[in-house]
Chains A and B, each alone.
Chain A
Amino acid sequence: MSEQFITQNIRRRDVLAMAGTGVVAAGSIGLFAGDAMADPAAVAKAIKDQIGDKKTMSGAVTLELPQIAENGNTVPIGVEVKSPMTSSDYVKAVHIYADKNPSAEVATFRFTPESGKAKVSLRMRMIKSQNIVAVAEMSNGMVHMVKNAVKVTIGGCGG
């Protein structure tokens, strides 16, 4: 009787332990489960909020990204915009967006003619493989855009 009680107890404990690890695992996987995630539509909306209905062009902006990022916690990202950077013709700002991160916005860079060159590098977090979008606003009102995909092996954002 008592033996049966013990085995039952152990089983119960095992079950509890398993349930416990289950919860932990679920907790770490579902780190952002309750949070809204960005998607391509969120990126499109964020871009529209920033630049309005302006037409975007391609060609002037280059994104430097690894094809495969091993560690999503720090992914090197570089962006360069072709521009003479004179007081009449320069890059005003570059916005970076990610379409599968918890939020679409990553960073904004504000340039001046004194920047001399519209080139920046930074390190960013990526929770999983996704597209990175760079939008460049020129002083003459034109908007240039580029999109690159990055594969992430281990997601960042503290996951």
Chain B
Amino acid sequence: MAKARVKAPKSVKKGQVFEVKSLISHKMETGLRNDKKTGKKIARKIINKFSVTYGGKEVFGSDWHPAVSANPYISFFVRASASGPMKFQWTEDGGKVTEKSVNIKVT
């Protein structure tokens, strides 16, 4: 569905708390707008859930409502535990999931 981007440091020290930034292109249709031509309501379609898994469990999650801007950007922090993948999941209304994964190297 959508193009997702994630920015995380390539290498971190064990125990270090580092910032992760993510961005996904998505209209975040609020369900409140009217189609200019037909005058009908445009159905709501937003990403309602964002989840980050690292070290085998969810370390950060977020629930979104229509008040979250289009192309949702979010930044948050994670404590480095062990080298491995950090997985990102964006879930859209209707259940469609966009996934992205980055490798975190812990030294």
User: CB within 8 Å of B: which residues of A?
Assistant: 27, 31-32, 35, 73-75, 85, 98, 101-103, 105-126, 156-158
Contacts and interface: CB of A to CB of B under 8 A. Distances in A.
A113 B68 CA distance: 25
Contacts of B62: 107-110, 120, 122
Interface in B20-73: 30, 32-34, 39, 54-55, 57-70, 72-73
Interface of B: 17-18, 30, 32-34, 39, 54-55, 57-70, 72-79, 81
A32 B67 CA distance: 14
B14 to A, nearest CB: 12
B17 A121 contact: no
Q: Would you call the interface of chain B mostly helix, strand, loop, or mixed? A: strand
Q: Would you call the interface of chain A mostly helix, strand, loop, or mixed? A: mixed
Contacts, number: 109
A31 B41 CA distance: 10
Nearest to A122: B74
A106 B62 CA distance: 11
Most A CB contacts (10 A, CB to CB) among B32, B63, B70 go to: B32
Given A123-B68, A157-B30, A158-B32, 19 more contacts: A27-B39, A102-B32, A103-B65, A105-B65, A105-B67, A107-B63, A107-B68, A108-B62, A109-B61, A110-B61, A110-B63, A114-B55, A115-B77, A116-B17, A122-B68, A123-B69, A125-B30, A125-B68, A156-B69
Contact of A114 (B32, B75, B78): B78
A83 B60 CA distance: 16
B21 to A, nearest CB: 9
Contacts of A102: 30, 32, 66-67
A116 B54 CA distance: 13
Contacts of B17: 116-117
Contacts of B69: 73-75, 122-125, 156
B75 to A, nearest CB: 5
Given A102-B66, A115-B60, A124-B68, A32 B34 contact: no
